[in-house]
Amino acid sequence: MRFFATAAKGTEPALRDELRELRFRRVRADRGGVHFEGELIEGARACLWSRVAVRVLLEVASFDAGDAQALYEGVRAIRWDAWMTPRSTVAVRASCRSSRMTHSQFVAQRTKDGIVDAVRTEAGERPDVDRDDPDVLVAVHLARDRATVYLDVGGGSLHERGWRARSGEAPLRETLAAAILRLSGWDRERPLIDPMCGAGTIAIEAAAWARRMAPGLSRERFGFERWTDHGDAMRARVCDLRDAARAEARADGPPVYASDVDPLAVERTRANALRAGVSLVVETRDVRRLAPLDPPGFVVTNPPYGERMDAEASVIEDLARALRRLQGHTVAILAGSPAIGRAMRSEPERWWILHNGPIECRLLLYAIRGARGGGTGDPS
Ligand SMILES: C[S@@+](CC[C@H](N)C(=O)[O-])C[C@H]1O[C@@H](n2cnc3c(N)ncnc32)[C@H](O)[C@@H]1O
């Protein structure tokens, strides 16, 4: 079976490396995600173990679809009864690129028509649509007038790990935090700090990754577990996968620190870490008082941007001054504006363009030189 794991724009190389490390087969990065192959259980394993993948999609058909009729016919020809009955609910997500049909909602609608008509022809009744919680979530991607139809193996976006309290804030997505950590080159052994932690996403992802906690374990069930072909044999295999994932987790990991000037953010991080089952050293601290880690380690952070210009400039100056002192540390900054790059006063070793939702950001990676080994104390 052919799978396509989707990734936030710019994080495809991180996802490719992750899937290779997890020993998936025929892993190949592409625009918007990474291809891999295997039995359905491999799709399940990707949902359970990938931290960077946003969705895991199973390809079910690919055909030319230059117009609405061709799309409808192509979808209708698929044997939907393998995955659904008239009692199943369905939803369709669509995306279009460089094609004559440009309205994704229209493409989704025609795809849905093809599915329900196919099921009605086979089984005499049509399935209902449930946009919020469908049994079968279908994705259709139209590129250069060719449609590829997928089933969403996870049944939704995998960034939700189950620990985040609803807060009204706009934190980093867990999947993007995981990609940043991977791109930073963190070895999961040295200490790590996020000195502007907000809700704690980066620090929690770091601690969970270092402890080999499977990110999908918190999900009660994945999308494929609601498909009609999900029988006892597959159920047993998925049960084994989950048991093996539980056994894989390490009891401890390197120290992970999180701090923020805002006591409410600190409280939120503490509560989130507790729910995530990871232990962090969390405290209220202004970044101006950031101390070196001992031994020197990694700083991975996402400073504020899009605030009042003068306020942003002064925070960014404070952050850059604090970071430049951290000899021997590796620093990764997800920057939403060019200010921090200038304030660091040196070229980054590496950088990447990443998308935090609609915002184009740069991930800047610095090795702070001049280490003579050892820091001056831990930040707590
Ligand atoms: C973009 S948010 C970080 C979001 C975080 N990555 C998350 O996922 O929730 C930036 C954070 O920087 C914090 N901050 C602003 N000025 C600070 C300072 N001088 N020292 C420490 N933290 C600061 C803010 O309170 C805010 O929580």
SS3 content of the chain, % helix, strand, coil (to 5): 35, 25, 40
pLDDT of residue 357: 86
Q: Report DSSP letters for 240-279, one per residue.
A: HHHHHHHHH--S--S-EEEEES-HHHHHHHHHHHHHHT--
* 111 burial type by CB count under 10 A (0-12 exposed, 13-18 middle, 19+ buried): buried
Give the Cβ contact number of residue 136 at 10 Å.
Answer: 23
| Ligand 1 neighbourhood includes 283 CB (under 6 angstroms) | no
Q: Which stretches of the chain drop beneath a pLDDT of 50?
A: 371-380
Residue 127 is given by DSSP the state P
Q: Whose CA is nearest to atom 5 of ligand 1?
A: 198
Which tens digit of pLDDT belongs to each residue from 139-174? 999 999 999 999 999 999 999 898 888 765 678 999
* 127 burial type by CB count under 10 A (0-12 exposed, 13-18 middle, 19+ buried): buried
pTM value is 0.93
Angle between helices 263-276 and 201-210 (to 10 degrees): 30
pLDDT of residue 306: 74
Give the Cβ contact number of residue 357 at 10 Å.
Answer: 10
* 161, 164, 197: residue to mutate for ligand 1 pocket, most atoms within 8 A of CB: 197
Helix (H) or strand (E) holding 139: strand 136-143
Please tell me the distance from the alpha carbon of residue 363 to that of residue 179, in angstroms, as a whole number. 10
Q: What single letter denotes the amino acid at residue 248? A: E
Q: Whose CA is nearest to atom 27 of ligand 1?
A: 198
pLDDT of residue 376: 38
Helix (H) or strand (E) holding 14: helix 12-21
| Ligand 1 neighbourhood includes 202 CB (under 6 angstroms) | yes
| Ligand 1 neighbourhood includes 179 CB (under 6 angstroms) | no
pLDDT of residue 309: 60
Number of H helices, E strands in the chain: 10, 15
| Ligand 1 neighbourhood includes 265 CB (under 6 angstroms) | yes
Residue 272, CB-side half-sphere exposure with 13 Å CA sphere: 29
Domains of the chain: 2-152 (3.30.2130.30), 174-212+251-367 (3.40.50.150)
Which tens digit of pLDDT belongs to each residue from 235-269? 999 999 999 999 999 999 999 999 999 999 999 99
Helix (H) or strand (E) holding 192: strand 192-194
pLDDT of residue 358: 87
Residue with tokens 């790990």: 161
